[in-house]
Chains A and B, each alone.
Chain A
Amino acid sequence: MGSSALKGTLGFLMVYVIYGAFNIAHGAIGFAEKGIAARIIFFHVPCAVYSSVAYMVATWYAVKHLWLLGGTNKSNTALEDSDYKSAAAMELGFLFCILATITGSIFAGVQWGSFWNWDPRETSIVIMLLLYASYHLLRTAFTTDPAKRARLSAVYAIIAVIPSIYLIWVVPRVLHTMHPTTTLSNPADTSLSYKLVLYPSFLAFTLLFIWLMQLRVSTMKLIEARRKRRLHAMEAQR
């Protein structure tokens, strides 16, 4: 898909999702609040899913980075590319994690009567937020040495994926949670009017994720190119 096709489709799809959320989807069965507030799930669920998908994407590029580093043909461009993609995915994961926490908290206030209940999924998202925040703190500690920063953050991403998998997939299935567990896995649990909005919403968030990642990787390349040029200029002055 070309870049303009991606942007055009995303713009149209998100407008459709916003319109559909309030005008196509009917009141949800089993929700305490059957009016407007329940529609937040069309934005909360994709944000929550993408907060974990982003982690997997980041880990994939972290593995690729270390793999390239251990290989005989160490291309600087390929090494930088995998590092930027891993870091960009981590940033987006952090953003989606924050959005999922905010939207989830609003919905919890409406549905369960309290904005925060320490439900297993709520607890696991707090730990996910801390994992993401630690990654970014680690990166800021090595701004003058990009190679070391890339290496250490790749190692961190790979190590931290283990607790993240445990928190996302295991904890909410082992402990009692107030969150519904079969909304996505069992199609019979979701009505047609909800599917007509929820599935396009996933597609829209997928396109948004791809676009934001491309954009962030490009800005990282620009920042690095300018940093290198500044270093060359300083060396030339000496």
Chain B
Amino acid sequence: MNAHLTALLVTAVPLIVWLGIYFYLVRIDKAVRRLLRDESQEEQL
């Protein structure tokens, strides 16, 4: 296998792992913001 293909294959694994972590964190971030908003609204009531 040529060196470029090997490099691309090796790049793909950490890239997929990172994108998985990143979008998972984005989802958590959105959920936490929503919960904080709900919490402050409940406090105001």
What number of A-B contacts does a CB cutoff of 8 Å give? 44
Asked if A14 is at the interface of the complex by the 8 Å CB criterion, the answer is: yes
Q: A19-B15, A218-B36 are in contact. Are A11 and B10 (CB under 8 A)?
A: no
Give A19 to B32 CA distance when docked, in angstroms: 31
Asked if A211 is at the interface of the complex by the 8 Å CB criterion, the answer is: yes
Q: Is the CB of B39 within 8 A of A225?
A: yes
Q: Is the CB of A36 within 8 A of B10?
A: yes
Q: Considering only CB atoms and an 8 Å cut-off, how many residues of chain A contact the other chain?
A: 20
Q: Which residue of A lies closest to B23 (CB)?
A: A11
Q: Which residue of A lies closest to B14 (CB)?
A: A18
CB-CB under 8 A from A156, the residues of chain B are none
Q: Is the CB of B18 within 8 A of A222?
A: no
Q: Is the CB of A18 within 8 A of B36?
A: no
Q: Which residue of B lies closest to A222 (CB)?
A: B35
Q: Is the CB of B25 within 8 A of A215?
A: yes
CB-CB under 8 A from A221, the residues of chain B are 36
CB-CB under 8 A from A218, the residues of chain B are 32-33, 36
Q: Is the CB of B11 within 8 A of A11?
A: no
CB-CB under 8 A from B25, the residues of chain A are 211-212, 215
DSSP majority for the B interface?
A: helix
Q: Is the CB of B15 within 8 A of A15?
A: yes
CB-CB under 8 A from B28, the residues of chain A are 215
Give A221 to B28 CA distance when docked, in angstroms: 15
Q: Which residue of A lies closest to B28 (CB)?
A: A215
Q: A211-B25, A215-B25, A225-B39 are in contact. Are A18 and B18 (CB under 8 A)?
A: yes
Q: Is the CB of A222 within 8 A of B10?
A: no
Chain B 1-45 residues near chain A, CB threshold 8 A: 6-8, 10-11, 14-15, 18-19, 22, 25-26, 28-29, 32-33, 35-36, 39
Interface residues of A (CB under 8 A from B): 3, 7, 10-11, 14-15, 18-19, 21-23, 36, 211-212, 215, 218-219, 221-222, 225
Further contacts, 13 of them, CB under 8 A, given A23-B7, A215-B25? A3-B29, A7-B29, A15-B15, A15-B19, A18-B18, A19-B15, A22-B11, A23-B8, A23-B11, A212-B25, A215-B29, A218-B33, A222-B35
20 pairs from A and B in contact (CB 8 Å cutoff): A7-B26, A11-B22, A14-B22, A15-B18, A15-B19, A18-B14, A18-B15, A21-B14, A22-B10, A22-B11, A36-B10, A211-B29, A212-B25, A215-B25, A218-B33, A219-B32, A221-B36, A222-B32, A222-B35, A222-B39
